[in-house]
Chain A
Amino acid sequence: EAEVAQSPRYKITEKSQAVAFWCDPISGHATLYWYRQILGQGPELLVQFQDESVVDDSQLPKDRFSAERLKGVDSTLKIQPAELGDSAMYLCASSFSGRATDTQYFGPGTRLTVL
């Protein structure tokens, strides 16, 4: 069964350092999402891609976060500089077309700890 891949699974960094997360969606899925999940909360959308284009990045803190999906396949989320409040689980998901009825398939996530 096809799965969404993410790496690394865990990342510990010091504040003010740069971190990057990678996601490879299910093959053939046009839509890719990055979510942030703070402990004890539900996931919150950071950015949505349709192929290589950003559809929604209204909740992305653009002063320190950036995301790209250059060839419309895999994607990278970067934080520079990291802050203590960025400690969270970062989840990547993909769906076939991005319609509201589509199922989103989630990867295992990257747990970030900022010291």
Chain B
Amino acid sequence: AQSVTQLDSQVPVFEEAPVELRCNYSSSVSVYLFWYVQYPNQGLQLLLKYLSGSTLVKGINGFEAEFNKSQTSFHLRKPSVHISDTAEYFCAVSDQRYSTLTFGKGTMLLVSP
């Protein structure tokens, strides 16, 4: 079975500082990895996804993530955050055997001035 662990429930950061949101996954087969963002009382929006190829994936709003197979990680990074990046971020996994998404519990990014 698949599982996703997001190691931090909250990450406070000051505006214009860099940020990394951590995600580890567990699966016995080749995986596909996703990061979604959720603003208050809204649905989820895809930031980026890794399917194959280059392990560094660039997404919307200046976010990027790196797939590390040996460490089973897919950490999300942004070099300089804005107040508007305050939201909940979810890491999710699917694989060739189980096509539906399994989500982590989420990380709340709190950006302050």
Contacts and interface: CB of A to CB of B under 8 A. Distances in A.
Interface stretch (A12-20, A38-46, A78-86): A38-46
A108 B40 CA distance: 10
Nearest to A107: B43
Contacts of B32: 100-101
A99 B95 CA distance: 9
B43 A91 contact: yes
Interface residues of B, number: 25
Interface string B38-74: 0001111110010100000000000000000000000
Nearest to A9: B41
A100 to B, nearest CB: 4
Nearest to A103: B46
Interface in B76-113: 90, 92, 94-96, 98-101, 103-106
Contacts, number: 56
**Majority SS at the chain A contact face:** loop
Interface band, chain A: 20 to 34
A111 B43 CA distance: 11
A33 interface: yes
A6 B44 CA distance: 13
B103 A33 contact: no
B96 to A, nearest CB: 6
A72 to B, nearest CB: 18
Nearest to B100: A45
Interface in A35-62: 40-45, 48, 56
Interface of A: 4, 6, 33, 40-45, 48, 56, 91, 93, 98-101, 103-109, 111
